[in-house]
Amino acid sequence: MKSRSVVLIPAYEPDVSLINLLREIQSKTEYDIVVVNDGSSDNSYQVLSQAASFAAVLNHPKNMGKGQAIKTGLQYIREHYPEDTVIATMDADGQHKVDDVIKLINAASDTNNQLIIGSRKFSGKIPVRSKVGNIITRLVFMALTRVNVGDTQTGLRAFSARMIPFMLGVEGQRYEYEMNVLLGCAHRNIKITEIPIETVYINNNQSSHFNTFKDSYMIYKEILRFSASSLICFLVDFCLYSILIWLTRDMNTEIRVPASNIAARVVSASINFSINKRYVFKSRGSTFKAAAEYFVLASGILCLNTFLLTVLVKYILKNKLISKLLVEITLFFVNWSVQKFLIFKKYIKAGV
Protein backbone atom coordinates (compact mmCIF):
# COMPACT_ATOMS: atom_id res chain seq x y z
CA MET A 1 0.00 0.00 0.00
CA LYS A 2 1.16 3.52 -0.76
CA SER A 3 0.80 6.90 0.89
CA ARG A 4 -1.22 9.21 -1.33
CA SER A 5 -3.73 12.02 -1.40
CA VAL A 6 -7.13 10.85 -2.58
CA VAL A 7 -10.02 12.87 -3.98
CA LEU A 8 -13.38 11.23 -3.25
CA ILE A 9 -16.28 12.23 -5.50
CA PRO A 10 -19.84 10.97 -4.91
CA ALA A 11 -21.73 11.14 -8.21
CA TYR A 12 -25.39 10.77 -9.10
CA GLU A 13 -26.46 11.20 -12.73
CA PRO A 14 -23.16 12.92 -13.63
CA ASP A 15 -22.67 14.71 -16.95
CA VAL A 16 -19.61 15.79 -18.89
CA SER A 17 -18.71 18.18 -16.05
CA LEU A 18 -17.40 15.16 -14.14
CA ILE A 19 -15.04 14.20 -16.96
CA ASN A 20 -13.76 17.79 -17.23
CA LEU A 21 -13.18 17.81 -13.48
CA LEU A 22 -11.29 14.51 -13.52
CA ARG A 23 -9.10 15.69 -16.39
CA GLU A 24 -8.23 18.86 -14.52
CA ILE A 25 -7.39 17.00 -11.31
CA GLN A 26 -5.14 14.64 -13.25
CA SER A 27 -3.41 17.49 -15.12
CA LYS A 28 -2.72 19.59 -12.01
CA THR A 29 -1.99 16.95 -9.35
CA GLU A 30 -0.81 13.42 -8.70
CA TYR A 31 -3.82 12.66 -6.51
CA ASP A 32 -5.63 9.36 -6.77
CA ILE A 33 -9.35 9.68 -7.46
CA VAL A 34 -12.26 7.57 -6.27
CA VAL A 35 -15.69 8.12 -7.84
CA VAL A 36 -18.75 6.52 -6.26
CA ASN A 37 -21.62 6.09 -8.71
CA ASP A 38 -24.68 6.35 -6.48
CA GLY A 39 -27.09 4.27 -8.55
CA SER A 40 -27.19 6.52 -11.62
CA SER A 41 -29.42 5.59 -14.57
CA ASP A 42 -28.24 4.27 -17.91
CA ASN A 43 -28.13 7.86 -19.16
CA SER A 44 -24.87 8.30 -17.26
CA TYR A 45 -23.29 5.05 -18.46
CA GLN A 46 -21.02 6.71 -21.04
CA VAL A 47 -19.82 9.37 -18.60
CA LEU A 48 -19.03 6.80 -15.91
CA SER A 49 -17.26 4.58 -18.44
CA GLN A 50 -15.02 7.52 -19.33
CA ALA A 51 -14.50 8.27 -15.64
CA ALA A 52 -12.96 4.82 -15.20
CA SER A 53 -9.99 6.03 -17.27
CA PHE A 54 -9.17 8.59 -14.57
CA ALA A 55 -10.44 7.08 -11.34
CA ALA A 56 -11.45 3.99 -9.44
CA VAL A 57 -15.23 3.87 -9.97
CA LEU A 58 -17.36 2.16 -7.32
CA ASN A 59 -21.02 1.44 -7.99
CA HIS A 60 -24.16 1.36 -5.89
CA PRO A 61 -26.86 -0.86 -7.45
CA LYS A 62 -29.45 1.80 -6.53
CA ASN A 63 -29.48 5.37 -5.30
CA MET A 64 -28.59 5.34 -1.60
CA GLY A 65 -27.76 8.99 -0.99
CA LYS A 66 -24.71 11.22 -0.86
CA GLY A 67 -23.82 10.27 2.71
CA GLN A 68 -23.77 6.57 1.90
CA ALA A 69 -21.75 7.21 -1.26
CA ILE A 70 -19.12 9.01 0.83
CA LYS A 71 -19.07 6.13 3.31
CA THR A 72 -18.62 3.59 0.50
CA GLY A 73 -15.66 5.58 -0.80
CA LEU A 74 -14.15 5.90 2.66
CA GLN A 75 -14.44 2.17 3.26
CA TYR A 76 -12.62 1.54 -0.04
CA ILE A 77 -9.86 4.01 0.90
CA ARG A 78 -9.46 2.42 4.33
CA GLU A 79 -8.93 -0.97 2.68
CA HIS A 80 -6.48 0.23 0.02
CA TYR A 81 -4.52 3.11 1.55
CA PRO A 82 -2.48 3.68 4.74
CA GLU A 83 -3.52 5.87 7.67
CA ASP A 84 -1.37 8.82 6.62
CA THR A 85 -3.40 9.30 3.43
CA VAL A 86 -5.12 12.67 3.07
CA ILE A 87 -8.68 12.61 1.70
CA ALA A 88 -10.68 15.37 0.09
CA THR A 89 -14.39 15.08 -0.74
CA MET A 90 -15.84 17.23 -3.50
CA ASP A 91 -18.96 17.41 -5.66
CA ALA A 92 -19.16 16.00 -9.18
CA ASP A 93 -20.85 18.96 -10.87
CA GLY A 94 -17.84 21.23 -11.32
CA GLN A 95 -18.85 23.71 -8.63
CA HIS A 96 -15.68 23.08 -6.65
CA LYS A 97 -12.42 24.34 -8.10
CA VAL A 98 -9.40 22.05 -8.29
CA ASP A 99 -7.13 24.83 -6.99
CA ASP A 100 -9.30 24.97 -3.86
CA VAL A 101 -9.06 21.19 -3.43
CA ILE A 102 -5.27 21.53 -3.52
CA LYS A 103 -5.42 24.22 -0.80
CA LEU A 104 -7.51 22.01 1.46
CA ILE A 105 -5.36 18.91 0.97
CA ASN A 106 -2.22 20.90 1.73
CA ALA A 107 -3.82 22.20 4.93
CA ALA A 108 -5.02 18.73 5.96
CA SER A 109 -1.56 17.26 5.35
CA ASP A 110 -0.33 19.09 8.45
CA THR A 111 -3.00 17.70 10.81
CA ASN A 112 -4.23 14.30 11.99
CA ASN A 113 -7.36 15.15 13.90
CA GLN A 114 -8.94 18.10 12.20
CA LEU A 115 -11.64 18.70 9.61
CA ILE A 116 -10.72 21.24 6.95
CA ILE A 117 -13.71 22.67 5.09
CA GLY A 118 -13.93 24.96 2.08
CA SER A 119 -15.97 27.98 3.12
CA ARG A 120 -17.82 29.95 0.45
CA LYS A 121 -18.62 33.65 0.69
CA PHE A 122 -22.37 33.98 0.25
CA SER A 123 -22.32 37.32 -1.52
CA GLY A 124 -23.19 38.45 -5.04
CA LYS A 125 -25.51 36.40 -7.26
CA ILE A 126 -26.20 33.42 -5.02
CA PRO A 127 -29.34 31.23 -5.47
CA VAL A 128 -31.89 32.19 -2.83
CA ARG A 129 -32.37 28.61 -1.57
CA SER A 130 -28.61 28.23 -1.07
CA LYS A 131 -28.22 31.54 0.76
CA VAL A 132 -31.28 31.05 2.99
CA GLY A 133 -30.46 27.39 3.62
CA ASN A 134 -26.96 28.21 4.79
CA ILE A 135 -28.17 30.99 7.08
CA ILE A 136 -30.67 28.65 8.75
CA THR A 137 -28.28 25.72 9.17
CA ARG A 138 -25.52 28.05 10.40
CA LEU A 139 -27.78 29.55 13.09
CA VAL A 140 -29.14 26.15 14.15
CA PHE A 141 -25.64 24.68 14.28
CA MET A 142 -24.30 27.60 16.35
CA ALA A 143 -27.26 27.43 18.73
CA LEU A 144 -26.76 23.70 19.30
CA THR A 145 -22.97 23.59 19.53
CA ARG A 146 -21.78 27.15 20.25
CA VAL A 147 -19.37 26.65 17.32
CA ASN A 148 -19.50 29.23 14.55
CA VAL A 149 -19.11 27.67 11.09
CA GLY A 150 -19.58 30.04 8.18
CA ASP A 151 -20.53 27.41 5.59
CA THR A 152 -22.28 24.37 7.05
CA GLN A 153 -23.41 23.06 3.65
CA THR A 154 -20.09 22.88 1.84
CA GLY A 155 -19.24 19.51 0.33
CA LEU A 156 -15.57 20.40 -0.13
CA ARG A 157 -13.77 18.93 2.88
CA ALA A 158 -10.37 17.39 3.66
CA PHE A 159 -9.10 15.23 6.50
CA SER A 160 -6.65 12.48 7.41
CA ALA A 161 -7.55 8.84 6.79
CA ARG A 162 -7.12 8.39 10.55
CA MET A 163 -10.54 10.01 10.86
CA ILE A 164 -12.25 7.36 8.71
CA PRO A 165 -13.54 5.30 11.69
CA PHE A 166 -15.20 8.45 13.02
CA MET A 167 -16.61 9.35 9.60
CA LEU A 168 -18.04 5.88 9.07
CA GLY A 169 -19.68 6.00 12.49
CA VAL A 170 -21.62 9.19 11.80
CA GLU A 171 -25.28 8.52 11.11
CA GLY A 172 -26.96 9.52 7.87
CA GLN A 173 -27.17 8.33 4.29
CA ARG A 174 -28.22 11.43 2.41
CA TYR A 175 -27.55 15.16 2.68
CA GLU A 176 -28.03 15.14 6.45
CA TYR A 177 -24.78 13.17 6.76
CA GLU A 178 -22.60 16.21 6.13
CA MET A 179 -24.40 18.21 8.83
CA ASN A 180 -24.09 15.26 11.21
CA VAL A 181 -20.33 15.17 10.59
CA LEU A 182 -20.09 18.79 11.75
CA LEU A 183 -22.23 18.03 14.81
CA GLY A 184 -20.06 15.01 15.58
CA CYS A 185 -16.88 17.09 15.30
CA ALA A 186 -18.30 19.70 17.66
CA HIS A 187 -19.31 16.98 20.12
CA ARG A 188 -15.90 15.29 19.99
CA ASN A 189 -14.00 18.60 20.14
CA ILE A 190 -12.52 17.89 16.71
CA LYS A 191 -11.35 21.22 15.36
CA ILE A 192 -13.15 22.53 12.27
CA THR A 193 -10.93 24.82 10.20
CA GLU A 194 -12.41 26.92 7.40
CA ILE A 195 -10.45 27.91 4.31
CA PRO A 196 -11.98 30.47 1.93
CA ILE A 197 -12.85 29.03 -1.49
CA GLU A 198 -14.35 30.41 -4.68
CA THR A 199 -18.15 30.46 -4.80
CA VAL A 200 -19.37 28.85 -8.01
CA TYR A 201 -22.99 28.23 -8.98
CA ILE A 202 -23.50 26.86 -12.49
CA ASN A 203 -26.90 27.68 -14.08
CA ASN A 204 -28.23 28.90 -10.73
CA ASN A 205 -27.32 25.53 -9.16
CA GLN A 206 -29.88 23.67 -11.29
CA SER A 207 -27.65 20.57 -11.44
CA SER A 208 -28.00 20.01 -7.71
CA HIS A 209 -30.02 16.94 -6.69
CA PHE A 210 -30.85 18.55 -3.34
CA ASN A 211 -34.61 18.44 -2.75
CA THR A 212 -35.43 21.62 -0.85
CA PHE A 213 -38.25 20.14 1.23
CA LYS A 214 -37.38 16.44 1.49
CA ASP A 215 -33.67 16.87 2.16
CA SER A 216 -34.19 19.88 4.45
CA TYR A 217 -36.50 17.70 6.51
CA MET A 218 -33.81 14.99 6.66
CA ILE A 219 -31.31 17.56 7.97
CA TYR A 220 -33.65 19.04 10.55
CA LYS A 221 -35.96 16.09 11.30
CA GLU A 222 -34.48 15.25 14.67
CA ILE A 223 -34.64 18.77 16.04
CA LEU A 224 -38.15 19.12 14.57
CA ARG A 225 -39.26 15.97 16.38
CA PHE A 226 -37.54 17.19 19.53
CA SER A 227 -39.31 20.54 19.18
CA ALA A 228 -42.67 18.79 18.81
CA SER A 229 -41.94 16.60 21.83
CA SER A 230 -40.83 19.63 23.83
CA LEU A 231 -43.96 21.54 22.81
CA ILE A 232 -46.24 18.73 23.93
CA CYS A 233 -44.49 18.41 27.26
CA PHE A 234 -44.29 22.18 27.65
CA LEU A 235 -48.07 22.42 27.23
CA VAL A 236 -48.53 19.73 29.89
CA ASP A 237 -46.01 21.48 32.14
CA PHE A 238 -47.40 24.98 31.57
CA CYS A 239 -51.04 23.99 31.98
CA LEU A 240 -50.37 22.00 35.16
CA TYR A 241 -48.17 24.83 36.50
CA SER A 242 -50.96 27.36 35.81
CA ILE A 243 -53.56 25.17 37.53
CA LEU A 244 -51.32 24.66 40.57
CA ILE A 245 -50.54 28.38 40.76
CA TRP A 246 -54.29 29.04 40.83
CA LEU A 247 -55.01 26.28 43.36
CA THR A 248 -52.26 27.56 45.70
CA ARG A 249 -53.18 31.25 45.32
CA ASP A 250 -53.47 31.68 49.08
CA MET A 251 -49.91 30.44 49.71
CA ASN A 252 -46.78 32.55 49.97
CA THR A 253 -45.23 33.28 46.53
CA GLU A 254 -41.80 32.03 47.58
CA ILE A 255 -43.36 28.62 48.25
CA ARG A 256 -46.12 28.33 45.63
CA VAL A 257 -43.96 29.19 42.59
CA PRO A 258 -41.21 26.60 43.13
CA ALA A 259 -43.64 23.99 44.47
CA SER A 260 -45.97 24.37 41.47
CA ASN A 261 -43.03 24.34 39.06
CA ILE A 262 -41.50 21.19 40.56
CA ALA A 263 -44.78 19.27 40.59
CA ALA A 264 -45.56 20.22 36.98
CA ARG A 265 -42.04 19.38 35.82
CA VAL A 266 -42.04 15.90 37.38
CA VAL A 267 -45.12 14.96 35.35
CA SER A 268 -43.98 16.57 32.09
CA ALA A 269 -40.43 15.19 32.40
CA SER A 270 -41.74 11.63 32.67
CA ILE A 271 -43.74 12.11 29.47
CA ASN A 272 -40.77 13.83 27.77
CA PHE A 273 -38.40 10.96 28.54
CA SER A 274 -40.71 8.35 27.05
CA ILE A 275 -41.36 10.33 23.85
CA ASN A 276 -37.71 11.27 23.30
CA LYS A 277 -36.32 7.78 23.84
CA ARG A 278 -38.81 6.07 21.60
CA TYR A 279 -39.68 8.57 18.88
CA VAL A 280 -37.15 11.44 18.76
CA PHE A 281 -33.71 9.87 19.21
CA LYS A 282 -34.95 6.28 18.69
CA SER A 283 -32.44 5.04 21.22
CA ARG A 284 -32.04 1.29 21.65
CA GLY A 285 -29.79 1.58 24.66
CA SER A 286 -30.58 0.50 28.18
CA THR A 287 -33.79 2.14 29.38
CA PHE A 288 -32.60 1.99 32.99
CA LYS A 289 -29.27 3.66 32.18
CA ALA A 290 -30.92 6.31 30.01
CA ALA A 291 -33.58 6.92 32.68
CA ALA A 292 -30.91 7.37 35.35
CA GLU A 293 -28.98 9.83 33.17
CA TYR A 294 -32.20 11.60 32.23
CA PHE A 295 -33.11 11.90 35.91
CA VAL A 296 -29.78 13.63 36.59
CA LEU A 297 -30.35 15.96 33.64
CA ALA A 298 -33.96 16.64 34.59
CA SER A 299 -32.93 17.35 38.16
CA GLY A 300 -30.27 19.80 37.02
CA ILE A 301 -32.60 21.48 34.54
CA LEU A 302 -35.31 21.60 37.18
CA CYS A 303 -33.03 23.28 39.72
CA LEU A 304 -31.83 25.81 37.15
CA ASN A 305 -35.36 26.29 35.85
CA THR A 306 -36.78 26.85 39.31
CA PHE A 307 -33.96 29.21 40.29
CA LEU A 308 -34.33 31.34 37.15
CA LEU A 309 -38.11 31.35 37.45
CA THR A 310 -38.00 32.41 41.09
CA VAL A 311 -35.52 35.20 40.37
CA LEU A 312 -37.57 36.50 37.43
CA VAL A 313 -40.83 36.49 39.38
CA LYS A 314 -39.36 38.01 42.52
CA TYR A 315 -37.03 40.65 41.11
CA ILE A 316 -37.67 41.32 37.40
CA LEU A 317 -40.98 40.55 35.66
CA LYS A 318 -43.33 39.65 38.48
CA ASN A 319 -45.69 37.98 35.96
CA LYS A 320 -45.52 34.29 36.77
CA LEU A 321 -46.72 32.97 33.40
CA ILE A 322 -44.52 35.15 31.17
CA SER A 323 -41.54 34.31 33.38
CA LYS A 324 -42.26 30.62 32.89
CA LEU A 325 -42.31 31.04 29.09
CA LEU A 326 -38.97 32.87 29.01
CA VAL A 327 -37.22 30.30 31.19
CA GLU A 328 -38.49 27.36 29.10
CA ILE A 329 -37.31 28.95 25.85
CA THR A 330 -33.89 29.72 27.35
CA LEU A 331 -33.29 26.13 28.45
CA PHE A 332 -34.61 24.44 25.27
CA PHE A 333 -31.28 24.06 23.43
CA VAL A 334 -29.39 23.10 26.59
CA ASN A 335 -31.86 20.27 27.10
CA TRP A 336 -31.64 19.13 23.43
CA SER A 337 -27.85 19.08 23.36
CA VAL A 338 -27.44 17.03 26.53
CA GLN A 339 -30.09 14.49 25.51
CA LYS A 340 -28.74 14.19 21.97
CA PHE A 341 -25.05 13.88 22.75
CA LEU A 342 -25.03 12.22 26.17
CA ILE A 343 -28.23 10.41 27.08
CA PHE A 344 -29.61 9.14 23.78
CA LYS A 345 -26.36 9.30 21.80
CA LYS A 346 -26.56 7.02 18.78
CA TYR A 347 -25.09 8.41 15.61
CA ILE A 348 -21.49 8.55 16.80
CA LYS A 349 -20.56 4.87 16.90
CA ALA A 350 -16.83 5.21 16.44
CA GLY A 351 -14.32 7.78 17.48
CA VAL A 352 -10.92 9.05 16.48
pLDDT per residue over 322-337, tens digit each?
888 888 777 876 776 6
CA dist., res. 31 & res. 120, Å (int) = 23
CA dist., res. 209 & res. 155, Å (int) = 13
Report the chain's mean pLDDT, rounded to a whole number. Answer: 81
Question: For residue range 55-68, what is the model confidence (pLDDT) as tens digits?
Answer: 999 999 999 999 99
Q: What is the CA radius of gyration of the chain?
A: 24
CA dist., res. 298 & res. 202, Å (int) = 49
pLDDT at position 154: 87
- What is residue 153's DSSP assignment? T
Length of the chain: 352
CA dist., res. 234 & res. 237, Å (int) = 5
Residue by residue, DSSP assigns 20-32 as HHHHHHHHH---E
Question: For residue range 86-125, what is the model confidence (pLDDT) as tens digits?
Answer: 999 999 888 889 999 999 999 999 887 899 999 887 555 5
pLDDT at position 81: 95
CA dist., res. 275 & res. 89, Å (int) = 37
Distances (CA, A) of 315 to 3, 258, 310, 323: 65, 15, 8, 11
- What is residue 83's DSSP assignment? T
CA dist., res. 117 & res. 268, Å (int) = 41
Backbone angles phi, psi at 56, to 5 degrees: -80, 120
% of the chain beyond a pLDDT of 70? 79
* Residue scoring higher pLDDT (72 or 184): 72
The yes-or-no verdict on residue 7 having pLDDT over 60 is: yes
Beta-carbon-side half-sphere exposure of residue 245 (alpha carbons within 13 Å): 16
Band of pLDDT at residue 255, cut at 50, 70 and 90 = confident
Question: For residue range 17-52, what is the model confidence (pLDDT) as tens digits?
Answer: 999 999 999 999 999 999 999 999 999 999 999 999
Residue 250 CB coordination number (10 Å): 6
The yes-or-no verdict on residue 73 having pLDDT over 70 is: yes
Q: Which domains does the chain have, with CATH numbers?
A: 5-210 (3.90.550.10), 221-343 (no CATH)
pLDDT at position 215: 47
CA dist., res. 242 & res. 284, Å (int) = 35
CA dist., res. 197 & res. 117, Å (int) = 9
The yes-or-no verdict on residue 351 having pLDDT over 50 is: no
The yes-or-no verdict on residue 196 having pLDDT over 70 is: yes
